Amino acid sequence: MKEKISKKAEEIKSFLTEFRRDLHQYPELSFEEVRTSEKIAQALRDMGLEVQTGVGKTGVVALLKGNSEDKVIGLRGDMDALPVEERNQTSYASKHKGVMHACGHDGHSTIILGAARVLHSLRDEIPGNVKFIFQPAEEAGGKGAAGMIQDGVLTNPKVSAILGVHMWPAPIRLGQIGLNYGPSMAASDSFSLKIIGKGGHAALPHMTIDPIVIASQIINMIQLIASRMIDPLDPVVISIDLVHGGTRHNIIANEVELRGTVRTLLPETRTYVRERIEKIIKGVTEALGATYELTYLLGVAPTLNEPALTQLVEEASREILGDDQVLRLPHPHMTGEDFGAFCQTIPGTFIKIGVHSPEKGHIHPLHSPYFDFDEEALVTGVKTVAYAAVKYLSQDRF
């Protein structure tokens, strides 16, 4: 099976390249993936697969029925692009002004489509079912995955495990893949805070409650959460991204507005940080005579790779790619990814597909206007997910 998948993945390299370059030229923003989802749905129908469209608005789902009804594994790729103006001069550079596949989602959907093609050609030998999930709006703060889950993508038939892919720059080289055990991507939350003091004359501070001084205390004290209250080996990022208050000198403002970003890896830390932020705000404003209004928005959940499933993907990828092509990543990433929503519901693993290649000039980070990758990475991705899916379906331990 390993040899067959490997051979077929190599054989479709030009199909993968063409398909990805087409998506790359016509990128579409979150929930606007109309052309993209039509292209994908058509390609799946051409293979002879059962296709569902409009799942979670612009999502596409296809089901491959193997030779047993037993288990269903899901393979997920996202489809949306970013509001970035592409700076690359390639023949397949974006034709949509101000929109670009700067996060590699053109690659993710092509990998899942390629896996569909490879597995469909071997369907009589596959001991279970595979659901191919093309998700819209990954860049929409969790709405893409949530919409598909709400529309029942993980049921009927019930999906028992899910694999997701992401193109990954340094340190993962072209041809390699990287895996994290446990946390892989961070939870991404944010908050808006208004501190309400009492404005007045800047030369008569005792007649006022100065929200700017109070805001500065809060900004500093919030930094103590990461540095003094959390295990240094459990990463937490808290950034204040906006401070707005005051009109001109000689006037003490009446109120100050702050906004912040919070990234955590563990669910318990996520809850703890949220509680501490509010405690600090409450304590400082109370002590200094101000009041506050706080809105705390929970964004995407952390992506937590289920260890047994990750182990299976590691074994499968070592077999099909070779030992030196598989990295156990020492650290998770503090960027967010709404694949976390799937992992909260069923066991999941997020596979980072290496694209770093200084030889080919592919050295730019995700979301850069220069981000690009060599399509050999798509072949690597197809081999990995297709073989891991078959291995999952063949084993009794799941």
Q: Residue numbers of the site for Ni ion (CB under 5 A)?
A: 103
CB 150 to Ni ion: min, Å = 21
Catalytic residue from among 80, 139, 337, 372: 80
Catalytic residue from among 28, 78, 86, 138: 138
Centroid of chain to Cα 184: 10
CB 136 to Ni ion: min, Å = 13
How many CB atoms within 10 Å of residue 96?
Answer: 16
**99 and 72 Cβ atoms separated by less than 8 Å:** no
CB 60 to Ni ion: min, Å = 18
What is the Cβ-side half-sphere exposure of residue 228, based on CA atoms within 13 angstroms? 6
Shorter beta-carbon distance to Ni ion: residue 145 or 284: 145
Shorter beta-carbon distance to Ni ion: residue 139 or 189: 139
Q: Which amino acid is at 397?
A: R
Q: Which residues pair with 244 in a beta bridge?
A: 257
Q: Of 371, 337, 369, nearest to 356 (Cα)?
A: 371
**353 and 384 Cβ atoms separated by less than 8 Å:** yes
Return the residue nearest Ni ion (CB atom): 103
Centroid of chain to Cα 327: 19
- Element of type H or E holding 243: strand 236-245
Dist CA 123 CA 194 (whole Å): 58
Grouping H, G, I as helix, E, B as strand and the rest as coil, residue 32 is: coil
Shorter beta-carbon distance to Ni ion: residue 16 or 103: 103
Residue 80 among the catalytic residues: yes
CB 266 to Ni ion: min, Å = 22
Q: Of 383, 327, 364, nearest to 122 (Cα)?
A: 383
CB 300 to Ni ion: min, Å = 11
Instruction: For residue 10, give both structure tokens.
Output: 């190599």
Shorter beta-carbon distance to Ni ion: residue 103 or 385: 103
Q: Which residues pair with 283 in a beta bridge?
A: none
Shorter beta-carbon distance to Ni ion: residue 103 or 111: 103
Shorter beta-carbon distance to Ni ion: residue 106 or 189: 106
How many CB atoms within 10 Å of residue 155?
Answer: 10
Angle (CA) 398-142-275 rounded to 5° is 95
CB 103 to Ni ion: min, Å = 3
Shorter beta-carbon distance to Ni ion: residue 103 or 253: 103
Q: Which amino acid is at 88?
A: N
Q: What helix, strand, coil percent values describe the chain, rounded to 5?
A: 40, 30, 30
Dist CA 113 CA 133 (whole Å): 9
Catalytic positions, written as ranges: 80, 138
